[in-house]
Amino acid sequence: MKKLIQIAGLLALAMNAGANDVLIENVRIFNGVDTRLTSGHVLVQDGIIAEVSSEPIEARENTTVLDGGNRVLSPGFIDLHVHLAAHVPGQHFDAYSTLQNVYAAKVAQHYLDSGFTSVRDAGGTHPHFGRAIDSGDIPGPRVFPSGAYISQTAGHGDWRNSTDGNPTLTGGNPYLYDGTSVLVDGVDRHLAAARENLRFGATQIKIMGGGGVMSEFDPIHSLQPSPAEIRAAVQAAGDFGTYVLAHAYTSEAVRRLVENGVRCIEHGLLIDDATAKFVKDNDVVISTQLLVYRELQNLPGVSATNLDKLAVVLEGQENLIRLIKKYDITTGFSTDLISGMYPLLTREFTERAEYWTPAEILVQATSESARVIRMAGKLNRHGNFGEIREGWLADLVLIDGEPLEDISVLTDPDMNLALIMKGGEIVKSRL
C-alpha cells in the first residue's frame, strides 16, 4: 500500500512537471548589476530563476513559453522608502482611521502594476499588512515593514495637536493614529517600542532621528533622541540580527545617529562634506529622495511653518547628491511619497536622470536597493532578489523601449511593461 502511494505520488509529480514553469525566450538581459545587456533566455521554476543562458533552453511539457521579442528583461524594481499606510488624501483626514488601510491596498496595487516587486516600508504600516500580501489576498509588492515610527515627545513622529495630553507622561496609549507612530521617551521605552515592532514582524526598525518637515513642533536643527535612546533601539534591532534606519537632515543629527549604531540614514539633505565622509567610512547608507521634496509644496494644507522647513532642506538637495557621488555612498532608490501622491511614483526615475545615467538609476532600483534590504539578515524570510541570477527569486519586468538609453519609458508602465512577474507569478502579461 505504502509503495502504491509512493508510485501515485511520483506519477502526480511527473504529470505536474513544468506546470509552474515559465520560459522567457529571446530577451536582452539587464541583470541588475552590469550596465551592459546580454542576449539570452530565462527559465523560471517554482518561483525561482532556474537557468539563465545565451543558448536556447529546452522547455519541459506544461512549461509556459513566452517570446520576449528582444525586449529588455530587468529585475523587478524596489523602493526603499514607502509609507503604504500614509496615503489618505488630506480632505479625508477626519476619517483617517477607517480609510488608511483601504488606501494602503490601493497603493500596494499601484506599486505592483508599476513594476515594483519589493518595498521597504519606512514606518507607519502594520507588519501584518505585508503578511496579507504574502498570503495572496491583497495584490502588492513584497513588504519589508518597519512597523510604527519610533519618536520621542516633540519628535518628527509626534503629530498630536498642540493641546493634546502626552501619553508618555500620563500613562495613556502611546500609539498615535491607529498605531502609525509610537511616542516614547527614555531607554526602557525605546527598547520596548522596538521589541514590540519586531514582535509584530518588522524586518528593521525606524526611528525619527532629528527635526522633520511635515511635523509642527520640531525645528529642523533639533536632535532626536538622546544617544542612550538611540543605542537602545539599535540594541533591540541588533539582538534580532537587523538594523535601525533613521530620519535625519543635519550633520549633527547624522553624526550622532551613526556614532550610536544606526546603519541607514533617511533623507540627509543638509549634511556637509566631513559628515558624508564619516558616513562612508562607517559603511552607512543614505537613502534619499528627489521628487517628494519638489512636490510637497504643491500639497494642499501644508502649514507655513512646514513650508519654510521644506525650503531649508530643499536647498541642500543638490549638495547631498554631489556628496553621495563624491564618496560613492550606497543610496538605492526611494520615494517617500505620502498623502495620496503615490501616482507620481515612476517620476522619481526621471527626476534622478538629472544626476545619474539610466544604467545607474536601474542599478539603484534593483541590486543596490536589494543589498540594503538584505541588511535585515535572517528576518528576510523571502530569499534573495534584485538581480537576474540563477537560484534567486524570479522578480522580473520586461520593458518595451530602451531603458538604458531613455529611463522615461518607465514612467508609463501600462504602455511599456509587457510582463511583470513577482516570485514566479505572472502579475501582468501581454505577450
Instruction: Give the Å distances, CA to CA, from 75 to 95, 371, 415, 418.
Output: 38, 13, 18, 14
Using CB atoms, what's the residue nearest to Zn ion?
A: 336
- Could you tell me which residues come within 8 angstroms of residue 304 by beta carbon, excluding any fewer than 6 positions away? none
Burial class (CB in 10 A: 0-12, 13-18, 19+), 10: exposed
Task: State in angstroms the smallest separation of the CB of 114 from Zn ion.
Answer: 19
Size of the site for Zn ion (CB under 5 A): 2
For strands 181-183 and 149-151, give the pairing: parallel
- Determine the 3-state secondary structure of 11 from DSSP: helix
Q: How far is the CB of 359 from Zn ion (least distance, A)?
A: 27
> Is 336 one of the binding residues for Zn ion (CB under 5 A)?
yes
Q: β-pairing, 116-121 with 142-144?
A: parallel
Site string for Zn ion, 287-326 (x = CB under 5 A): ----------------------------------------
Which three three-digit cell numbers place residue 192?
Answer: 520596548
CA–CA dist 124, 61 (Å, integer): 46
Q: What type of residue is 377?
A: G
Choice between 332 and 403, CB closer to Zn ion: 332
Quote the least distance from Cβ 418 to Zn ion, whole Å.
Answer: 32
> Whose Cβ is closer to Zn ion: residue 336's or residue 368's?
336
User: Taking CB under 5 A as the rule, does residue 121 contact Zn ion?
Assistant: no
Nearest residue (CB) to Zn ion, 74 versus 181: 181
Contact 383, 392 (CB under 8 A): yes
> Residue 229 or 336: which CB sits closer to Zn ion?
336
Candidates 161-169, 172-180, 278-286, 332-340: pick the segment binding Zn ion (CB under 5 A).
332-340
* Three-class SS state of 304: helix
Minimum gap (Å) between residue 274 Cβ and Zn ion = 26
Dist. CA 239–CA 321, nearest whole Å: 33
Contact 153, 160 (CB under 8 A): no
Least gap, CB of 149 to Zn ion (angstroms): 8
Residue placing its CB nearer to Zn ion in the complex, 122 or 365: 122
Region 228-267 residues binding Zn ion, contact defined as CB under 5 A? none
- 251: number of Cβ within 10 Å: 18
Phi, psi values for residue 78, rounded to 5°: -135, 135
Stretch that binds Zn ion, among 57-65, 119-127, 237-245, 417-425 (CB under 5 A): 119-127
Shortest gap between Cβ of 422 and Zn ion (angstroms)?
Answer: 24
Q: How far is the CB of 218 from Zn ion (least distance, A)?
A: 14
Piece in contact with Zn ion (CB under 5 A), picked from 3-11, 98-106, 122-130, 203-211: 122-130
Binding site for Zn ion (CB under 5 A): 122, 336
